Structure 1
Amino acid sequence: MFSPQWIQTFLALADTGSFTRAAIRLNLTQAAVSQHVRELETQLGPLLVRHPRALELTPAGESFLDYCHEVEQAGRRLKVRLADADAHRGEVGLTTPGSVGLAIHAPLLALQAENPGLVIRHRFAPDPEIIDALREKQYDFGIVTLRPDDPRLSASEFAEEVLELVVPAGQMVTSWDDLARLGFIEHPDGPAMATRLFSRAFPGNPGVRRLPRRGYINQVGLILDAVARGFGFTVIPRHARQSFAEAAAIKVALSGDPYPLWLVHRAEWPLSARAAFVAEHLREKMHALKERRTGP
């Protein structure tokens, strides 16, 4: 819609406040600068008020200046994203469940410290939001607990997770009635995780939705605070439980079998070099973490 040179001219005018200084900065004649402004004002209306010693932006000029800054920033972001040859520079966006996020947070910070050119954008979210974000191309890759059934997405095994029933210290759970007595501290992935764990531990159970709900918390690092205070039980991945500082205030009443976590990205194109570098680094760290926890 607007010539890139017109945008650069307007930015220079707004910054210098002078046709003469803008022309010198851009290595143009004043006539060329004036022509660019006329072209813009033909489409947008008056953008500048010309005073003897200064220029003043009209409201339309202020709005167009905001637009120029947005275009300039978008151009810089595009250059970063297209600079794919260097795996150690540029932005990488990933989204994970909170439990996985807690496990990979420190390795991500360490990786960025070792590679100052990397910019890592990491968001915690439940599985459905992760899948939607990947479909909308908002992130390079995500990690989910259930393999998506969508031909637009490619999935590969990333690591293993174990679900745990966590109760206040001193409490016992041997039956469904014990769960009903304690009540459920729910979280966004809680019902799905509880259903997965309880289907084998309590066959024929009436369903987690029939259990009393004692609270709902959407911050994974805070869920176990409520359990530690005796408000109820929760079902949470082992990574999240192992990150909880007050271990003596809670107890694992039941552990499930390991199940895979899936690394997911858009299937139509491969991961960028830097995204693949980050993903492989995290895969190695998760494998090493598993080895330490299950080794002798």
Structure 2
Amino acid sequence: MNLTLIRYFMAVVETGSFTRGAERANVTQPTLSAGIKRLEQSLGAILFERGRSAQLTPAGARFMPHARLLLQEWTVARRELRQARPARQRLRIGYSTDLPQQRLAALLGGFASAHPDMALETLEQPAATLSRRLQMGRIDAAILPMDDDTGTEALALFRQRYLLAVPARHALAHRNTARIADLQDLPFVIRPQAAIMPAAERLFAAQNVRPRIIGRAESDAGLLALVEAGIGIAILPQWLDSPGIATLTLPELRDAHRIGLVWRDGEDTGVRQLRDFAAGHDWDAAARHPVIGH
């Protein structure tokens, strides 16, 4: 039985007119009339008395409850089958705010393209917040700086190094390197939550050097903007660059964080697929193409 023809039939019944029935069914009247005729031929009975209004024949009146029931059963069956479809596996991934966001987005975008059956949910937050969410089971994996306490459920991805960023016209801009002693009393802008801050503070304290902190930002992008504007100098990740600044190495600041994929014990299929995909990602190639801005 052709359900489209039954819909034509019910459209005429409910509107009382072939013209209005065609409008409801969103077809032309000749198309609807031809469909009703095919339905009548299939049933071997005339369903309507043709006239100024479409009146049901006795056969049409007997067929109407069956037609309505057929459409209702089809709607129920389609809804149940759709609900029975296997749900896409959800994978919740967090990544730290002080990492190269565009590169991580490219990684996750590539993974999503390679695994269209995976429902990917991403979250950008500070590393400490992501670690708590991971422990509480609110995310399945996270990309963040690793330390000695990270544990075995982790995969190292790349190393993040840091440079001194100064305005393009700064007195240090022509140099390739700088010493910590060179920074005494220079205007400095910082991001207090940055992963490099504890190591930098220890180094400054050990050499009794006190930079003049004149600004704070919530993101590395904010620090970069302040340096570009000539407000102060800053320690920034190596991947963050801009024509408006110059970068110098700080030989005494040897800290370089390992960035890795961390997951909860008992990894599932989605985490395993992400781990394998990330392990094959060419991070060295990405590092050869610095990101402008953040």
TM > 0.5 between the two? yes
**Counterpart of 1:93?**
93
Q: When you count helix as a share of all residues, which structure comes out higher?
A: 1
1:285 aligns with 2:281: yes
**Counterpart of 1:158?**
157
**Counterpart of 2:88?**
80
**Counterpart of 2:168?**
169
- Return the alpha-carbon distance in structure 2 between the equivalents of residues 102 and 180 of structure 1: 34
Cα 1:248/1:225, change in 2 over 3 Å = same
Question: How far apart are residue 184 of structure 1 and its match?
Answer: 1.8
Cα 1:204/1:195, change in 2 over 3 Å = same
Within a 5 Å distance, the mapping from 1:5-154 to structure 2 comes to: 79-81=87-89, 90-147=90-147, 149=149, 154=153
Question: 1:224 is paired with a residue of what secondary structure?
Answer: helix
Render the CA deviation track for 1:32-75: whole Å, top value 9, x for unaligned: xxxxxxxxxxxxxxxxxxxxxxxxxxxxxxxxxxxxxxxxxxx9
Q: State which of 183, 187, 206 in structure 2 corresponds to 1:182.
A: 187
1:275 aligns with 2:271: yes
**Counterpart of 2:64?**
none
Percent identity between matched residues is 13
Cα 1:230/1:95, change in 2 over 3 Å = same
Cα 1:283/1:222, change in 2 over 3 Å = farther
Task: Using the TM superposition, name which of 135-144 and 104-113 deviates more.
Answer: 104-113
1:263 aligns with 2:282: no
Cα 1:291/1:223, change in 2 over 3 Å = closer
**Counterpart of 1:214?**
215
Cα 1:150/1:205, change in 2 over 3 Å = same
- Return the alpha-carbon distance in structure 1 between the equivalents of residues 214 and 141 of structure 2: 33
Q: State which of 245, 248, 252 in structure 2 corresponds to 1:253.
A: 248
Task: Using the TM superposition, name which of 222-231 and 101-110 deviates more.
Answer: 101-110
Render the CA deviation track for 1:229-272: whole Å, top value 9, x for unaligned: 11112222223x1xx4xx221111225544422321112x12x2
- Return the alpha-carbon distance in structure 2 between the equivalents of residues 160 and 248 of structure 1: 24
Render the CA deviation track for 1:207-236: whole Å, top value 9, x for unaligned: 87x742413233x44431111111112222
Question: 2:146 is paired with a residue of what secondary structure?
Answer: coil
**TM-score scaled by length of structure 2:** 0.56
Is the 2:96–2:124 contact (alpha carbons within 8 Å) kept by the matching residues of 1? yes
Question: 1:111 is paired with a residue of what secondary structure?
Answer: helix
Aligned partner of 2:206: which letter? G
- Return the alpha-carbon distance in structure 1 between the equivalents of residues 287 and 216 of structure 2: 35
Aligned partner of 1:231: which letter? I
Aligned partner of 1:185: which letter? I
**Counterpart of 2:227?**
227
Question: 1:116 is paired with a residue of what secondary structure?
Answer: coil
Cα 1:282/1:207, change in 2 over 3 Å = farther
- Structure 2 unaligned runs (5+)? 1-67, 78-82, 173-177, 290-294
Aligned partner of 1:80: which letter? R
Render the CA deviation track for 1:180-210: whole Å, top value 9, x for unaligned: 3222232531xx413324655x5714587x7
Q: How many residues align?
A: 206
- Return the alpha-carbon distance in structure 1 between the equivalents of residues 146 and 212 of structure 2: 24
Q: State which of 194, 199, 203 in structure 2 corresponds to 1:196.
A: 199
Aligned partner of 1:276: which letter? R
Question: How far apart are residue 168 of structure 1 and its match?
Answer: 1.4
Cα 1:111/1:149, change in 2 over 3 Å = closer
